[in-house]
Structure 1
Amino acid sequence: MALMITDECINCDVCEPECPNDAIYQGVEIYEINPA
Protein backbone atom coordinates (compact mmCIF):
# COMPACT_ATOMS: atom_id res chain seq x y z
CA MET A 1 0.00 0.00 0.00
CA ALA A 2 1.49 3.33 -1.07
CA LEU A 3 1.01 6.28 1.25
CA MET A 4 1.86 9.92 0.83
CA ILE A 5 1.76 13.04 2.95
CA THR A 6 -0.51 15.59 1.29
CA ASP A 7 -0.62 19.38 1.29
CA GLU A 8 -3.22 19.10 4.08
CA CYS A 9 -0.44 18.17 6.54
CA ILE A 10 -0.15 20.81 9.28
CA ASN A 11 2.90 19.24 11.01
CA CYS A 12 0.86 18.32 14.09
CA ASP A 13 3.13 15.35 14.98
CA VAL A 14 0.24 12.87 15.31
CA CYS A 15 1.31 10.54 12.49
CA GLU A 16 4.97 10.02 13.41
CA PRO A 17 4.49 8.13 16.71
CA GLU A 18 1.56 6.16 15.24
CA CYS A 19 3.53 4.76 12.30
CA PRO A 20 4.15 1.04 13.06
CA ASN A 21 7.23 0.95 10.79
CA ASP A 22 8.88 4.19 11.97
CA ALA A 23 8.83 5.30 8.33
CA ILE A 24 7.48 8.82 8.98
CA TYR A 25 10.00 11.43 10.01
CA GLN A 26 10.26 15.22 10.26
CA GLY A 27 11.80 16.55 7.06
CA VAL A 28 13.16 20.04 6.46
CA GLU A 29 9.73 21.66 6.10
CA ILE A 30 7.16 18.86 6.37
CA TYR A 31 6.91 15.26 7.48
CA GLU A 32 8.22 12.74 4.99
CA ILE A 33 7.90 8.98 4.48
CA ASN A 34 10.92 6.74 4.06
CA PRO A 35 9.85 4.31 1.30
CA ALA A 36 12.47 1.69 2.17
Structure 2
Amino acid sequence: LRSLACHGYFYTSVAVRRFAFRRKFNRVVSFRSRET
Protein backbone atom coordinates (compact mmCIF):
# COMPACT_ATOMS: atom_id res chain seq x y z
CA LEU A 1 0.00 0.00 0.00
CA ARG A 2 2.83 2.37 0.85
CA SER A 3 4.60 1.70 -2.44
CA LEU A 4 1.33 2.24 -4.32
CA ALA A 5 0.82 5.63 -2.65
CA CYS A 6 4.41 6.58 -3.45
CA HIS A 7 3.94 5.56 -7.08
CA GLY A 8 0.73 7.59 -7.28
CA TYR A 9 2.49 10.63 -5.84
CA PHE A 10 5.34 10.24 -8.33
CA TYR A 11 2.92 9.92 -11.24
CA THR A 12 0.99 12.99 -10.08
CA SER A 13 4.17 15.06 -9.73
CA VAL A 14 5.28 14.01 -13.22
CA ALA A 15 1.86 14.91 -14.66
CA VAL A 16 1.92 18.32 -12.97
CA ARG A 17 5.46 18.96 -14.18
CA ARG A 18 4.52 17.99 -17.73
CA PHE A 19 1.43 20.22 -17.61
CA ALA A 20 3.49 23.19 -16.37
CA PHE A 21 6.12 22.57 -19.05
CA ARG A 22 3.43 22.43 -21.72
CA ARG A 23 1.97 25.76 -20.57
CA LYS A 24 5.43 27.37 -20.59
CA PHE A 25 6.19 25.91 -24.02
CA ASN A 26 2.91 27.24 -25.44
CA ARG A 27 3.66 30.65 -23.96
CA VAL A 28 7.11 30.71 -25.58
CA VAL A 29 5.70 29.61 -28.95
CA SER A 30 2.98 32.27 -28.85
CA PHE A 31 5.58 34.88 -27.93
CA ARG A 32 7.82 33.90 -30.83
CA SER A 33 4.93 33.82 -33.30
CA ARG A 34 3.90 37.26 -32.08
CA GLU A 35 7.47 38.52 -32.45
CA THR A 36 7.84 37.54 -36.12
**TM-score band w.r.t. shorter chain:** under 0.3
Q: Which has the higher relative contact order, 1 or 2, with Cα contacts under 8 A spaced 6 or more apart?
A: 1
Computing the radius of gyration over CA atoms, which structure comes out larger, 1 or 2? 2
Higher strand share: 1
Higher helix share: 2
